[in-house]
Amino acid sequence: MMRPRESHSLRLEKCAFTISIPHRLRWIRELHENNIGHIDFTEHASELVIEAEFILDVIESNPFNFVIDPEAAEYPFSYEAELYTELHALSRNIYERDVDLIRDWLHPVWHPGKRLGTLELLQQLNTHIYSTLKYQRRLEKGVQSPAETLEKKSGSCRDFATLFMEACRYLGIASRFVSGYMYSPDINGRMSMHGWAEVYLPGAGWIGFDPSWGILASSHYFPVAVSRYSENVPPISGTYTGTRRDFLRTDVDLYVTRLSAYLLT
C-alpha cells in the first residue's frame, strides 16, 4: 500500500512503479477503499527493488474549515443510530485491558460530568499527547499498546496515533489509523512513512489529528491507507523462501519535495 488516496483536495497526476523482478501486478480496492497492489513474481531473485514515484496536485486548504452538526458540537454526544451502525467497529476499543488506565490518564482533559466543545476536547487530547510524551522513532515491528506508551512516556507516530484512537474510542468517538506521507518545508528531502489518526464528526466527516506534532492534519498530509488498526496497513508485505542461512534486510528511502506547481513524493 503505497499509492496515495485521492480526494477533493488531492489529485494524483503521476503514479509510476518500477519493480526489479519480472512480475504480474494487479490492483484492488479493498473494504476501506485502500488501493492495494498485488505482485506475483514470475522468476526467482536474490534482491527485490521497488521504486514508486508520485506527482500530486494538492489544493491548499485550512484544516479548520469544517462545521460540526449542532447535536455533536458539544461533548458528550452520541451518533445517530444509522450512523453508529456504520461506525460501530471504529468506536470500540481494541486494547480493552487498558481502558481503566486510559480513563485515569484522560482525567485532566475530560472526566464524567464535564462538558466542552467536541473540537476543543479533541485538540486538548492531541496536545496532551504531544506535550507530555516524548516522540521516539522506532524501527521495531509492531505497535505499542496504550499501556506501554504511557509507561515508557514515549513512542513513535504509530504509537501516539494508537493512544489517541483508543482514547477517542473510550469516549465513544469513532477513530481510524492513517498511514501516509507528510510534507514539511523544514524537512525537505529524505523522510519516512508517517502515521496519524482520523475521527468521524457528524457534519464534518473524517478529520485528521496528528498527536506526534500536536496539530490537525493539513493539506500537507497525504493519506495512503486507513484501518481500524495500524498494523493492517504496512506499505509492503509478503513472504519469501530460501535456505536457513538466508535473511531479509530491508532498506527504505523516501523523499518528499515541493515542485513549482506540484508536491512530489
When pLDDT is averaged across residues 151-162 and rounded to a whole number, the result is 97
Question: Per the structure block, which three cell numbers stand in for 238?
Answer: 509478503
The answer as to whether 149 is a domain residue is yes
Which residues have a Cβ under 8 Å from the Cβ of 34 and sit 6 or more positions away? 1, 5, 224, 225, 226, 227, 233
Which of 25, 33, 45 minimizes the C-alpha distance to 6? Answer: 33
- The position carrying cell 451502525 is 85
Q: Which CATH number does the domain housing residue 89 bear?
A: 3.10.620.30
Query: Residues 24, 126: one domain?
Result: no
Note whether 169 and 256 are same-domain residues: no
Q: Read off the pLDDT of residues 45-91 as tens digits, 9 standing for 90 and up.
A: 888 999 999 999 998 889 999 999 999 999 999 999 999 999 999 99
Count: domains in the chain: 2
C-alpha cell at 246: 538466508
Residues 6+ apart with CB under 8 A from 162: 143, 144, 145, 146, 149, 177, 230
Q: At what angle do helices 118-132 and 157-170 cross, to 10 degrees?
A: 140
Instruction: Look at residue 258 in the predicted model and tell me its pLDDT.
Output: 80
Residue 220 lies in a domain: yes
Q: Which amino acid is at 224?
A: V
Q: Say if residue 244's pLDDT is above 80.
A: no
Neighbours of 131 (CB within 10 A): 9
Average pLDDT taken over every residue of the chain: 91
For 84, what's the count of Cα atoms within 13 Å in the CB-facing half-sphere?
9
Q: What is the pLDDT of residues 19-33, one digit of tens each?
A: 999 999 999 999 999
**Amino acid making up residue 66:** F
What local confidence, expressed as pLDDT, does residue 254 receive?
83
The per-residue pLDDT for 188 is 59
With respect to residue 100, please indicate whether it lies within any of the assigned structural domains: yes
Same domain, 204 and 99: yes
122 touches 128 (CB < 8 A): no
Model confidence at 248, in pLDDT bands (50, 70, 90)? Answer: confident
pLDDT in tens, 177-194: 999 998 877 765 567 789
Domain of residue 37, residue span: 10-59+235-264
User: Which tens digits make up the pLDDT trace of 83-98?
Assistant: 999 999 999 999 999 9
Could you read off the pLDDT of 213-227 as tens digits, one per residue? Answer: 999 999 999 999 999
185 and 203 fall within a common domain: yes
Amino acid at the residue 197: A
Same domain, 173 and 94: yes
Q: How far is residue 224's CA from residue 193's CA, in Å, rounded to a whole number?
A: 10
